[in-house]
Amino acid sequence: MNFLKTTILLAALTGLLVAVGGFIGGTGGAIFFLLLAGVMNFFAYWFSDRVALAMAGAREITEAEHPRLFQIVREVARAAGMPMPRVYIVENASPNAFATGRDPQHAVVAVTTGILRLLNERELRAVIGHEMGHVKNRDILTSSIVATIAGAISMIAQVLMWSSIFGGRDRDQNPLVALLVILVAPIAATLLQLGISRSREYAADETGARVTRDPLALASALEKLKMGIAAVPMEPTPAQEAVSALYIANPFRGEGLANLFSTHPPLDERIRRLRAMAGRI
């Protein structure tokens, strides 16, 4: 169900890109911006992991530094049928974790020092399972595609806006339709992006819980993360904001109305679903 939802939303996002490009430049414009998104996706696919790790301030560690963490990651990777990923640490008191890498052969798992202090071994294993679930489901590739297409739509809307301001708009274009594209297209792209991101979080929860066969441990970890992040949120620097969608839980905002535009689904709903899974596993 999550895969089908992601496919539909991704198709809608791509269709929106083609439609907006076509509005500006006809068939040629649609093709041009679709090709542009493809080029952006190529670079995001190959280099997004390095950029994300640098922005998060993560550093690679050795097994000698954290032997127990390595053992947990190795056990989860083996249970998931995946190669051992590289392990990184983020020196941050706020509890969180994320994964990156274009495929299971180039995977990276990163955890903050805060989450190592907060969670017990069982809960940490469940969190690693969630992150390995992202890699196993190829969510890094999906998120890269989504981010670049959404970014292209916003860029096109800005081009149209400045073109309209300085009189470069095609006279055949309806000014009201142009205004609608400028205002609505970026919002629609953002909402589709959020829908895909939330769907992938639910899927990673389910995959991780099945790999570790312990959904209640992940539910417990998310409960602790909810309280821990509320007590010690990350500083919303531009770099951390850029990678916030990768974390297992939103590192800045609390629950409530802020969830409307959050890349993460509500933690309470994720916890409810995990508890419901417990009786089936």
Is 130 part of any known ligand binding site?
yes
Sign of CA dihedral 142, 143, 145, 150: positive
For residues 251 and 27, what is the distance between their CA atoms, to the nearest angstrom?
42
Is 106 part of any known ligand binding site?
no
For residues 183 and 278, what is the distance between their CA atoms, to the nearest angstrom?
44
- Residue 131 is among the residues annotated as catalytic for this protein: yes
For residues 80 and 33, what is the distance between their CA atoms, to the nearest angstrom?
38
- Are β-strands 86-90 and 108-112 bridged in parallel, bridged antiparallel, or unpaired? parallel
Rounded to whole angstroms, the maximal C-alpha distance in the chain is 67
Spatial CB neighbours of 136, under 8 Å, sequence gap ≥ 6: 80, 82, 104, 207, 211
Q: What are the strands, taking DSSP E only, across the chain?
A: 58-60, 86-90, 97-100, 108-112
- End-to-end alpha carbon distance in the chain: 18
Catalytic residue among 65, 123, 131, 235: 131
Tell me the C-alpha to C-alpha distance, in Å, between residue 142 and each of 14, 91, 108, 249, 255.
12, 28, 16, 18, 26
Burial class (CB in 10 A: 0-12, 13-18, 19+), 80: buried
For residues 42 and 207, what is the distance between their CA atoms, to the nearest angstrom?
27
Is 121 part of any known ligand binding site?
no
Annotated binding site: 130, 134, 201
Annotated binding site for Zn(2+): 130, 134, 201
Active site residues: 131
